[in-house]
Chains A and B, each alone.
Chain A
């Protein structure tokens, strides 16, 4: 399989790892991309900003802990290393009452489920998974594997398949938090995945509703009808108006060192799965989702995230290049294709 997608065949930014095929990119005489130049000023102040956010989280949690009826926080828990590490942090450093919810999208690796059991047992955390029936998942993944239904900007940061799946995760978590009156929802986004200003943020009902509708409207009617039960019901935006939770993703502002994370997780029973790919430690759909995105757009759906991490100095450039420009595992691509009958 040849993607024409090797660093040696592509011009990459000499500072981060964005390729010449990335939409809107340009390079200066030093070969540095315009996104690196735009970020320069912010990166200088990043450490101060992170410190500010750590303090902000401390005081948010001081004002929240043990006030809600049952849980302080719901974590979107994939079983991967980032969300496992977030769980560990919330439990051990902040001593929160946590409910960890997993979306079982039928492609969660058996190793990830084992990790979920080990980690939640070790930390003493309640967990459950929600498994939409196969016809729902298979129709949604088949459509998004074959075509892009989302806006161009969304596709800069994630594949269509991932965006569809994460859409369910985010809304399912929000919906459950509203129903159970849980004041915090947490995600294990890496420091490159979302801008730091979103790392602690109150969910605004109006904004959440409009964003949810825009996302749902991207799908054809037949799929929209099937996935709507996992989204926040319209009435909730009114009746639970005062209950909208704070969103937190602490890895954006805590020290992020992949090797250290894996080592620390090893002490609580988490083991690195061998059956996934370079970018996901939990999902067996990921390699195929990446493959489809690269074929259609000429750039890897994780390149924005990893480029951010390289720029911020939380990942070595060589490591980033390895993650993004290695071939997708062909067995895994075929596994997903066969399951979906594509």
Chain B
């Protein structure tokens, strides 16, 4: 697993699953599987902005970008590459 994925995963396990990673896979949907709710998604966005140096715009707050570890990694990678 990439560094980025590992960091995202630890944040989620620590803050939303209380240390119990259970069934959390790369493509587990946070919302559908009840891991994070809509308020939690915003905390996740805050974490990503702080730790990966990107700004998540309003129109990027979509499940395709944010709703799984895999989607997040792809999204952050796209953002950091376009900024570089």
Residues of A within 8 A of B64 (CB): 206
Query: Which listed residue (A24, A201, A207, A217) contacts B15, Cβ 8 A?
Result: A24
Residues of B within 8 A of A204 (CB): 58-59, 61-62
Q: How many A-B residue pairs have CB under 8 A?
A: 71
Residues of B within 8 A of A215 (CB): 37
- Give 1 or 0 for each of A139-182: 1 = CB within 8 Å of chain B CB: 00000000000111110010000000000000000000000000
Nearest CB of chain B from residue A25's CB, rounded to whole Å: 9
**B46-A207 in contact (CB<8A):** no
Contact-size category for B: 20 to 34
Known: A152-B18, A153-B16, A207-B61. A195 touches B37 (CB 8 A): no
Taking the complex as formed, is A23 at the interface, i.e. its CB lies under 8 A from any CB of chain B? yes
**B42-A194 in contact (CB<8A):** yes
Nearest CB of chain B from residue A5's CB, rounded to whole Å: 20
Taking the complex as formed, is A202 at the interface, i.e. its CB lies under 8 A from any CB of chain B? yes
Taking the complex as formed, is B14 at the interface, i.e. its CB lies under 8 A from any CB of chain A? yes
Taking the complex as formed, is A4 at the interface, i.e. its CB lies under 8 A from any CB of chain B? no
Residues of A within 8 A of B18 (CB): 23-24, 152
Residues of B within 8 A of A210 (CB): 29, 31-32, 63, 67
**B58-A153 in contact (CB<8A):** no
Query: Which listed residue (B19, B35, B59) contacts A153, Cβ 8 A?
Result: B35
Taking the complex as formed, is B26 at the interface, i.e. its CB lies under 8 A from any CB of chain A? no
Nearest CB of chain B from residue A159's CB, rounded to whole Å: 14
- In whole angstroms, what is the CA distance A218 to B37 when docked? 12
- Give 1 or 0 for each of A200-222: 1 = CB within 8 Å of chain B CB: 01101011101101110110000
Query: Which listed residue (B14, B35, B43) contacts A151, Cβ 8 A?
Result: B35
Taking the complex as formed, is B82 at the interface, i.e. its CB lies under 8 A from any CB of chain A? no
Nearest CB of chain B from residue A21's CB, rounded to whole Å: 12
**A151-B34 in contact (CB<8A):** yes
Specify the chain B residue showing the minimal Cβ separation from A194: B39
Specify the chain A residue showing the minimal Cβ separation from B60: A204
Specify the chain A residue showing the minimal Cβ separation from B16: A153
Closest 10 CB pairs of A and B: A151-B34, A24-B18, A211-B38, A202-B58, A214-B31, A206-B62, A154-B37, A198-B42, A204-B61, A23-B18
B residues with CB within 8 A of A? 14-19, 29, 31-32, 34-43, 45-46, 58-59, 61-64, 66-67
Q: 6 pairs across A/B with beta carbons < 8 Å?
A: A151-B36, A152-B17, A194-B42, A211-B38, A214-B31, A217-B32
